[in-house]
Chains A and B, each alone.
Chain A
Amino acid sequence: MTPSKLYVDGLCKKYGQVTALEPTQLEVAQGEFLTLLGPSGSGKTTLLQLICGLVEATSGRILIDGQDQSDVPVYRRDIGLVFQHYALFPHLTVAENIGFPLRMRGRPSAEIKTRVAAALDMVHLGHLAGRFPRELSGGQQQRVALARCFVYQPSIILMDEPLGALDKKLRDHMQIEIKRLHRDSGATIVYVTHDQDEALALSDRICLMNHARIEQLGTPQDIYRKPRTAFAADFIGISNIFRGTFRTEGERICLETPQGVFRLPSECAPTGDGGGLVVRPEQLQLGGRPENALAGLVRETVYAGSETRIIVRSAGDQDVTLRLPSHQRAPAMGETVTIGWDSNAAVLVP
């Protein structure tokens, strides 16, 4: 890995009794796109605010390029922050908003002019330079916020749910735009989102947060294929989780669940009395003679264009979801089916 650009060392934040962020360790590489993903209140915004210096840490430190930032005030850190609600200055025009960070850095006005123009072109808003923020649509305001952040080329850019207020179509478009800006600028980006699809689409690595802690950190593939906890499995993608207790059958260890006794994947280290087996919907097969099988009643079939989602009610009233390519014939509702998976397609979680 390239040397770390941003190093978060034992960072912790408490508001009175509330712990907003447990002591946290995090390393972000030069030019990396890291996403903080997690439910509301899991400490994502707190972590961003600590990194850029808007709130003071209870303990721990932050290093940028190996330099301790504890005594560097917000406005001297080489960091850009894009706010969830844009935080454009209502009393300044679009061009003045974008020029603001340059002006604060004492750049000559000729340089400000050309760089603002370039930034406006970059987000395709050259024709709106003289407007005030309230005269722009949500998507346009968002692009001004992006331009205002990229224009002074901070080496680290933090984004707090920048697309949260936009509709689906605009979000998709802006995701591509952000990806392009990232590639062109070479900046290191830490990005916060609620939206797992957005996280999977954009990130080099995802940092999954829960209860003010990092739950799991890894590439999107890693987290999707090898969730380390039931929470991680549940939060990203659709997961079927079968919970039960361990039992030794011959030389293999199995998991005994209300839905049946299932074999564990070969590479796993069961600890404690029991756990859960995570099986993704696309790993489930309909019919055939799989290693692990269970029977159930088809309760619902949902046609979704490229695929059909089938929900099967199994023993213990647990719903199991599987995906079929739409060209395959889907079973009828109420039909009894057998579904199963290869042992190594499942993941064991505590």
Chain B
Amino acid sequence: MSVASSSSTEGAAPLAPRSARVRLTATWLVAPGLAFLAVFFLYPVASLLFLSVTDPEGGGWSLRSFARIASTDVYLRVLGITFRVAGSTAVLSLLIGYPLAYWIASLSEAVRNRALLFVVVPFWTSYLVKTFAWMLILGRNGVINKLLMGAHVVDGPLPLLQNEFGVMVGMVHSMVPLAVITMLPVLTSIDRRLVSAAQTLGASPSHAFWMVYFKLSLPGVTAAGLLVFISSLGFFIVPAFLGGPQQTMLAQLIITQISELLNWSFAGALAVMMLATALAAFWIYDRVFGMSSISGGASVETDGKLRRVGIEALALLASASEALAAGARAVLGRRVTAGLLPAASWLIIAFLVLPTLLVIPIGFTSSEFLSFPPPGYSVRWFDTYFSSPLWIAATLRSFGVAFATALVSTVIGAAAAIALAGSRTRFGGAIFAFFLAPMIVPRVVIAVGMFYLFARLGLVATNTGLVIGHSVLALPFTVVTVTAILKTYDPRLDQAAATLGANRARTLAYVTVPIIRGGLVAAFLFAFITSFDELTIAIFISGGIATTLPKQMWDDMILQLNPTLAAVSTVVFVVVTALLLVAQRLRRTA
């Protein structure tokens, strides 16, 4: 090369400017992602804010929409319901999720990864499929009522649907996996020797658990509570199908305002209320616990009154539960009490996994009805599915859109992750948080804002619009997945490639990408799944012709339940689970 011919001064000097240029190009990889999110996420959400304070008729500034919310009983009631349901979902999900997370965290690493699948699969299973399954279980002629009436426990069917019970079952079932997945990193990072240490110092198992382990797990618990609360705020599938009019939630109201009443500014105001609630929850959380605990970082203890009161409270809890544990041991015996945690964990896993599996036998029923167990088995409903032009068109569109979404969001997300991997600055942290934002802002808010933007761009009812919308939602997953892979990537390999004469682009193409390939494919699959069972954006963006599979399911479920839905659900469940298992495997072996 030219090294031999260049003079010695030239040979030494280029080092500094060269490395500066390398860093510059790497940083620029974040630009497409930032621009994409700015245009299709930040701008729509921001314009929603403006919309909400715009007069629908005159066009000037106005707080009329908010005044209307405040003065109308129905809206206030819906707000109250939304809060209550989201709050109780958070509490129940934590209560149910904690024992499971604790048990999983205590397993050896190999077993843990396998047990985790029982949480990850329900986490990624489509809400529509899960909700459909609960309708089959809780309905008047559902599995539970049949069982109870068959055993003559009750005379008539119990009202398990169209009420708060149904909504809570569906919500908690949907949110426990999120709670467990959020808590688990904190729980597994707790040094269990501290619990042993507490016991050698004289702490009973109850005291050691509450005063040491539980205290140290609190950052994970509160982060999980926050995420579940915020996600629950935007729910509409579960209350729409499992609840009655008394359980109408905010997101349903927003959808009605737009798709039936075409009242943009009022829908905007409602969406802003939801966003404000989510942000307020974040703000309070940050005040009380500090944001750092969300990412599973060690919470930084500071001495204060609150901390000491907390320790006293935990000591009381410990004494109470010690008495309880002693009682349980006396009644049940040591051996049985030791088995309680695994038994409870398996019960919770059964609650998470089994209901969804119900759609499979029902999909193969030979009957016209959705009864369980099916009177006989056949593939007639799959025939109906595969010979229906409507369903096939929707299925093909979903596959196509998911594929394009996965491609777009993996390329943009991986580029951003690579750019951010090198940066340890606070700036990099803020950008990373921005990439995660679409996961945290309620989907219905994003969807409304996007619909408003796309209406003006002529992107409604187009595949392009769907791909853009889904890519916004999928980006957080691709960025997180690729970032995780890059953490295990040795940056010295890049330097080695550079010293061997590869420029930045070649290093990327021949060294970085091949090594992180497994992670890239995993990111691709996660994005694919995100798009494949996405409904919220599809409801707004996919108009009459451009319907996707989840949108078609939603329409059918509103119209009438039928066994074809079970066949479709089976296909969706199998496709998503298969892709997920592949993605999990790739992510681990990468």
Give me the interface of A with B, judged by CB distance under 8 Å: 52, 54, 73-76, 79-81, 83, 85, 87, 89-93, 96, 100-101, 103-105, 130, 132, 148-149, 152
Contact = CB atoms under 8 A, between A and B. Distances in A.
Contacts of A152: 201-202
Given A83-B197, A132-B303, 18 more contacts: A54-B199, A73-B205, A75-B201, A75-B203, A80-B200, A80-B201, A87-B196, A89-B194, A89-B197, A89-B212, A91-B215, A96-B311, A100-B201, A101-B202, A103-B315, A104-B198, A104-B203, A130-B303
A83 B193 contact: yes
Contacts of A132: 301, 303
9 contacts: A52-B200, A74-B199, A76-B202, A81-B200, A83-B193, A87-B196, A87-B197, A89-B197, A104-B198
Nearest to B202: A104
Nearest to A104: B202
B151 to A, nearest CB: 43
Given A54-B196, A81-B197, A90-B298, A75 B204 contact: yes
B204 A87 contact: no
A85 B191 CA distance: 11
B451 to A, nearest CB: 47
A105 B199 CA distance: 12
Contacts of B470: none
Contact of B194 (A87, A103, A130): A87
Contacts of B301: 90-91, 132
A149 B303 CA distance: 23
B203 A100 contact: yes
A148 B216 contact: no
Contacts of A100: 198, 201, 203
* Count class of interface residues, chain B: 20 to 34
Interface string B173-212: 0000000000000000001011011111111110110001
Contacts of A92: 311
The 9 closest A-B pairs by CB, nearest first: A87-B197, A104-B202, A101-B201, A81-B200, A74-B199, A104-B203, A75-B199, A101-B202, A75-B202
A148 B301 CA distance: 20
Interface of B: 191, 193-194, 196-205, 207-208, 212, 215-216, 298, 301, 303, 307, 311, 315
B200 A75 contact: yes
Contacts of B199: 54, 73-75
Nearest to B207: A104
A75 B212 CA distance: 15
A278 B315 CA distance: 59
Contacts of A101: 201-202
Nearest to A87: B197
Nearest to B196: A54
A151 B394 CA distance: 72
A90 B197 CA distance: 12
Contacts of B208: 75
A105 B202 contact: yes
A87 B203 contact: no
Contacts of B215: 91
B283 to A, nearest CB: 24
A73 B208 CA distance: 13
Contacts of B201: 75, 80, 100-101, 104, 148-149, 152
Nearest to B195: A87
Contacts of B311: 92, 96
A104 B301 CA distance: 22
Contacts of A85: 193
Nearest to A81: B200
B203 A91 contact: no
Contacts of A89: 194, 197-198, 212
Contacts of B216: 90-91
Nearest to B194: A87
Contact of A74 (B200, B212, B298): B200
B195 to A, nearest CB: 9
A83 to B, nearest CB: 6
Nearest to A85: B193
Contacts of B315: 103
B191 A87 contact: yes
Contacts of B303: 93, 130, 132
A250 to B, nearest CB: 61
A55 B317 CA distance: 26
Contacts of B203: 75, 100, 104
B196, B212, B307 pick with most chain A CB within 10 angstroms = B196
B202 A87 contact: no
A54 B200 contact: yes
B578 to A, nearest CB: 35
Nearest to B314: A91
A90 B191 CA distance: 10
A20 B191 CA distance: 22
A191 to B, nearest CB: 15
A131 B202 CA distance: 23
A79 B196 CA distance: 13
- For A89, A92, A105, A149, the residue with the greatest tally of chain B CB atoms inside 10 Å of its CB is A89
- The residue in B197, B301, B307 that gathers the most chain A C-beta atoms within 10 A of its C-beta is B197
A101 B199 CA distance: 9
B186 to A, nearest CB: 13
Contacts of A130: 303
Contacts of A81: 197, 200
B335 to A, nearest CB: 13
Contacts of B212: 89, 91
B474 to A, nearest CB: 37
Nearest to A145: B197
A293 to B, nearest CB: 55
Nearest to B308: A96
Interface centre among B202, B208, B311 (most CB of A within 10 A): B202
A148 B203 CA distance: 13
Contacts of A93: 303
Contacts of A75: 199-205, 207-208
Nearest to A77: B200
Contacts of B307: 91
A85 B194 CA distance: 10
Contacts of A54: 196, 199-200
A190 to B, nearest CB: 13
A73 B212 CA distance: 18
A149 B201 CA distance: 7
A74 B204 CA distance: 8
